[in-house]
Structure 1
Amino acid sequence: MSKNKLLRMDNVGIVVESLDDAIAFFSVIGLKLEGRGKVEGEWACRVTGLNSQNVEIAMMITPDGHSRIELSKFITPPTVSDHRNAPVNALGYLRAMFTVEDIDEMVSRLIEQGSQLVGEIVQYQNSYRLCYIRGTEGLLVGLAEEIGGK
């Protein structure tokens, strides 16, 4: 009997109110818009378990081409809960972490766009400088700059 082997992680899904604002936010971080379109129909409802859905999506990809974020704006059915501004110890999926070249420069650019630094930029041993940023619609992302072994 062969074992099931994980091949890769394709993407993380994030539901948003404004695709344009979310695309702009993740573009500042460095992701590129890979595509945009609609997801609807019987097949989609069977996958998600929703009786009827009409969703506009945008796929954002990292510069290395290995990671994606799928941004979804539900037209129907309406969203049922909102935990975008939940603190970091809330249950459920919370944030995506990105490695950046210059954390100070990235934080400055994100703050100029209206994001807020959560806590402060801290150094973890001689490995990383890290922080959390709350961006458009309260979305939480982590930023990490590798400092050891450069």
Structure 2
Amino acid sequence: MSIRLENVGIAVRDIEATIAFFTDLGLTVVGRDTVSGEWADTAVGLDGNHAKIAMLQTPDGHGRLELFEYLHPDAIETEPTLPHEIGMHRVAFAVDDIDASLEIAARHGCYPLRGVASYQDVYRLSYVRGPSGIIVMLAQELQPS
């Protein structure tokens, strides 16, 4: 049996703002749709769901995010997750220039939780609080192989 990661799905408050954030960081929108109906109710396990969705892909084609904004039922607001909470933790991206990536994030009102750290002179990395409270890790390899 083979397995591969298809995508990571994230419910968001504002799909347009979230698309703008991730596309500015370098992802590409590869599809958009509005979904509802019996098939969606069955797949998601939520009766009467209706959502806008967008699929974004990293430039190398290996990583995908599926963003969805619920039109019905109303989305349930929750507190943004903390780094030590159980459950979905973060989405991580390797970047060529962390400083440039952080400048892009800041233009969207998204800032590091604390700052930029150096991990054993191998990576510079930072956790950023992104749109809808999503934790986004940005990591720059210091000595690319």
Task: State the TM bucket, normalised to the shorter chain.
Answer: over 0.9
Task: Give, in angstroms, the shift of residue 110 of structure 1.
Answer: 1.3
Q: Structure 1: which 5+ runs fail to align?
A: none
1:136 and 2:105 correspond:
no
User: Tell me, what secondary structure is at the counterpart of 1:119?
Assistant: coil
Quote the residue 1:11 is aligned against.
7
Q: Is the 8 A contact 2:12 2:131 kept in 1?
A: no
Task: Give, in angstroms, the shift of residue 138 of structure 1.
Answer: 2.0
Aligned-residue sequence identity (percent) comes to 37
Quote the residue 1:35 is aligned against.
31
Cα distance in 1 for partners of 2:131, 2:30 equals 20
1:107 and 2:102 correspond:
yes
1:23 and 2:57 correspond:
no
| 1:65-104 map, 5 Å | 65-83=61-79, 85-104=80-99
Task: Give, in angstroms, the shift of residue 149 of structure 1.
Answer: 4.6
Quote the residue 1:123 is aligned against.
118
Cα distance in 1 for partners of 2:11, 2:116 equals 27
Structure with larger Rg? 1
What's the TM-score, normalizing by structure 1?
A: 0.90
Q: What do residues 48-83 of structure 1 show as CA deviations (whole Å, max 9, x unaligned)?
A: 111111111011110011111000011111223524
What's the TM-score, normalizing by structure 2?
A: 0.93
- RMSD of aligned C-alpha atoms? 1.4
Quote the residue 2:52 is aligned against.
56
Letter of the 2:138 counterpart: L
Q: Structure 2: which 5+ runs fail to align?
A: none
